[in-house]
Homo-oligomer: A and B are copies of this chain.
Amino acid sequence: MLEAFFNPRGVAVVGASRDRTKVGGSILANLIEGGFSGGIYPVNPSAQEIMGRKSYADVMSVPDPVDMAVVVVKAGLVPQVIDDCARKKISGAVVISAGFKEAGPDGYRLEKEIVKMGMEKGLRVWGPNCLGLINTFTKLNASFAHVMPLQGNIAFLSQSGALCTAILDWSITEGIGFSKFASLGNKSDIDEVDLLEALENDEDTKVIAGYLESINDGQKFLKVAARVTRKKPVVLIKAGRSAAGAKAASSHTGSLAGADSAYSAAFKQSGVIRAEALEELFDYAMAFARQPLPQGRNVAVLTNAGGPGIMATDACQANALNLPTFNEATLQKLKAGLPPTANIYNPVDVIGDALVDRYELALDALLSDSFVDGLIVLLTPQAMTQAKETAEAIARLSKGKGAGKPVLASFMGGEKVAPGIKILKEKKVPNYLSPERAAGSFAALARQTERLKRTEGNIPVLNVGKAKAGEIINRVMKESRVNLLSWESREVVSSYGFKVPAGKLVTDAESAVSVARETGFPVVMKIVSPEILHKTEVGGVRLKLMSDQEVRDAFELMMYRVGKRVPNAHINGVTVEAMTSAGREVILGMSKDPQFGHVFMFGLGGIYVEVLKDVSFRVSPFTEQDCKEMVQEIRAYPLLSGVRGQTPADIPGIIDGLMRLQQLCFDFPQIVELDINPLMVNEMGQGTLAVDARITLEKPREG
């Protein structure tokens, strides 16, 4: 995948310059000085030779095979270059040049044009408006970055070129190495999904880290990311999460970002770990690149000072990590080998005057303990502390008998611990400035373990009344309506297997009475009219009707009032339904997101959704397992699972409902909004009842 870009036989630089301060010169110099062993061909019609290499008038004139062209010419000249590249059978063009989508409508058209040309002529376009790309293992630096990154096992991709330069610069100082480094620019053709696919089986890459402002194709991302995260961890920042940030992001890249909740849901479902900030991104990436995954969340903390041990303990708890009790053998070993003032329980404190031997003894004991999944080792610089030797012991033991258990360090301090930190870096033991960051990173490792253990489940094909629902939806579309009447929505969800309250649509008072007698009192009556969306306001809803007389009165009063208040409304009739008060109220909702398509919401009804915003989201397609997690995710979940001896609600019924709504949206993708509010959930095994439903279709296309 993307072989032409990461492993080209030859690279042409179109717009090469002998001036290194120019982008075309900088890229050529990077290619040459980076040590790339394939062919490097400057293309510039006005030069004979650049930086000691023959310069060609165009790519067709290059006599050797070329797989990739790096294009640095003015935006307007790019189409011609793409055409030339196609003739030369070049399969990848990295368009560095700016002046495309980000520059306005003309640039947008130009960008569309080059992508279209590429597709027609079998050539992939990278960028435009990017910094380029780097492969440290083939020593290919096809970018105008000012440095070549260190070699390592983190692949980094970014939608922001400036962030690339900042991170490259910083990574050298920090000693962080990369396998691939990719500035994606405008993502006109090659995007994050292509990168994920390319890196999925890349042996040099242990973890994929990235910065995104938008995702081009949400559904494709979901599918590919779910597959890739089963092979290796993916950690991403998605910027523009706040409303103001999203506005800044869309004005920056011209990309339309969907709701942040959809991104969060998609990341969760596909096993992508979302980093909230740059430090998190690299904290996690470093842990993944350098340590194995733990079996679980049981952490032993080892320290030479009480205070930092407490801080680590707090941080573990905040990250849902456990500090297990050790097994008897471990306690014996610690007791025998450590001074009496030491703490042999978790967190283990070898005390301020500890030399390397106490750390060694404790490391050995803790790494052998079957209750311990991994270690966080703290060190503070005290009078006798052997930072360097302790670092060496950590590296040796964690790779020896501790192999398979991750060890993260936090050597706290400056100059006195620097020799230790240097060793940790060399030996690939991640070191964090504070215990809090070490704990956060351990939790990220544990999440990946859980991701790998998670069983996805399938999406069953449900037995539903598609034909019936189709009739209703087609009728609505034929009538050029977008909102289904509540009665129609009720029929649609009923045909998809939802139980709905007993009842019927009637057009006269006596029929209302006889329906009420059938369903049993009390009943609810509601007006049905395409012109009336807010029924209550016009006197179109009556609750708790207890007798024939009340039903009769309600019907006639409703006709009178509605007739007076909305004289032009076409009245289909009135629904008479059994009133339900039993069960717990939940809401199942769906709205269509520009990037991800059908995004579903779940929450407890009323106040929980409206005031406490206690809701969870999942992007379709989702499995029953996803639904289960979606239900468990809300804070008020105990109200469903049963608190204080209360019987649990029928959670399988909720999950079944979500799966049925998903099936409905599969079958009728023209549905853009939908909710069942409330869905009354009975006790476990007793099912649910869709009391009210609302369905909206997409606007018919003009013309």
Closest B residue to A281 using CB positions: B434
Kindly supply a per-residue 1/0 record for chain A positions 20-47, scoring 1 wherever the CB is within 8 Å of any chain B CB and 0 otherwise.
0101001000000000000000000000
- Report the bound CA distance from A436 to B317 in whole Å: 23
B251 touches A383 (CB 8 A): no
- Report the bound CA distance from A173 to B587 in whole Å: 55
Interface centre among A166, A173, A415, A436 (most CB of B within 10 A): A166
A310 touches B252 (CB 8 A): yes
A395 CB–B CB distance under 8 Å: no
A459 CB–B CB distance under 8 Å: no
- Report the bound CA distance from A610 to B278 in whole Å: 37
User: Which chain B residues lie closer than 8 Å to A242 at the CB level?
Assistant: 313-314, 316-318
Closest B residue to A240 using CB positions: B310
Interface centre among A308, A343, A614 (most CB of B within 10 A): A308
User: Which chain B residues lie closer than 8 Å to A252 at the CB level?
Assistant: 306-307, 309-310, 343, 349
Interface centre among A245, A249, A638, A639 (most CB of B within 10 A): A245
A310 touches B213 (CB 8 A): yes
A305 CB–B CB distance under 8 Å: yes
B160 touches A610 (CB 8 A): no
B416 touches A307 (CB 8 A): no
A279 CB–B CB distance under 8 Å: yes
Query: How many of A's residues come within 8 Å of B, CB to CB?
Result: 90
Interface centre among A308, A310, A316, A347 (most CB of B within 10 A): A310
User: Which chain B residues lie closer than 8 Å to A77 at the CB level?
Assistant: none
| Residues of chain A in range 397-450 having any CB-CB distance to chain B below 8 Å | 412-418, 433-437
- Report the bound CA distance from A434 to B163 in whole Å: 11
A414 touches B240 (CB 8 A): no
- Report the bound CA distance from A241 to B612 in whole Å: 26
- Write the nearest CB–CB distance from A409 to chain B, whole angstroms: 13
B166 touches A380 (CB 8 A): yes
Kindly supply a per-residue 1/0 record for chain A positions 139-174, scoring 1 wherever the CB is within 8 Å of any chain B CB and 0 otherwise.
000001011000000000011111101111111111
B381 touches A639 (CB 8 A): no
B415 touches A169 (CB 8 A): yes
User: Which chain B residues lie closer than 8 Å to A245 at the CB level?
Assistant: 310-311, 313-314, 317
User: Which chain B residues lie closer than 8 Å to A644 at the CB level?
Assistant: 610
Kindly supply a per-residue 1/0 record for chain A positions 594-622, scoring 1 wherever the CB is within 8 Å of any chain B CB and 0 otherwise.
00000000000001001110100000000
Specify how many copies of this chain sit in the oligomer: 2
- Report the bound CA distance from A310 to B638 in whole Å: 37
Q: Which of B21, B172, B173, B639 contacts A607 (CB 8 A)?
A: B639
B306 touches A160 (CB 8 A): yes
Are A436 and B276 also in contact (CB < 8 A) when A163-B307, A244-B316, A308-B163 are?
Answer: yes
B413 touches A165 (CB 8 A): yes
- Report the bound CA distance from A253 to B309 in whole Å: 12
A472 CB–B CB distance under 8 Å: no
A103 CB–B CB distance under 8 Å: yes
Interface centre among A169, A345, A352 (most CB of B within 10 A): A169
User: Which chain B residues lie closer than 8 Å to A26 at the CB level?
Assistant: 383
A380 touches B163 (CB 8 A): yes
A586 CB–B CB distance under 8 Å: no
- Report the bound CA distance from A418 to B162 in whole Å: 17
B311 touches A146 (CB 8 A): no
- Write the nearest CB–CB distance from A442 to chain B, whole angstroms: 15
- Report the bound CA distance from A614 to B638 in whole Å: 14
- Write the nearest CB–CB distance from A303 to chain B, whole angstroms: 8
- Can you give 20 A-B contacts (C-beta < 8 A)? A26-B383, A103-B341, A160-B305, A162-B308, A163-B380, A169-B413, A169-B417, A172-B414, A239-B307, A240-B313, A244-B316, A248-B347, A251-B343, A251-B345, A252-B307, A252-B343, A253-B306, A611-B638, A611-B643, A612-B614
Interface residues of A (CB under 8 A from B): 21, 23, 26, 103, 144, 146-147, 158-163, 165-174, 211, 213, 237, 239-245, 248-249, 251-253, 276-279, 304-311, 313-318, 323, 341, 343, 345, 347, 349, 352, 380-383, 412-418, 433-437, 607, 610-612, 614, 635-636, 638-639, 643-644
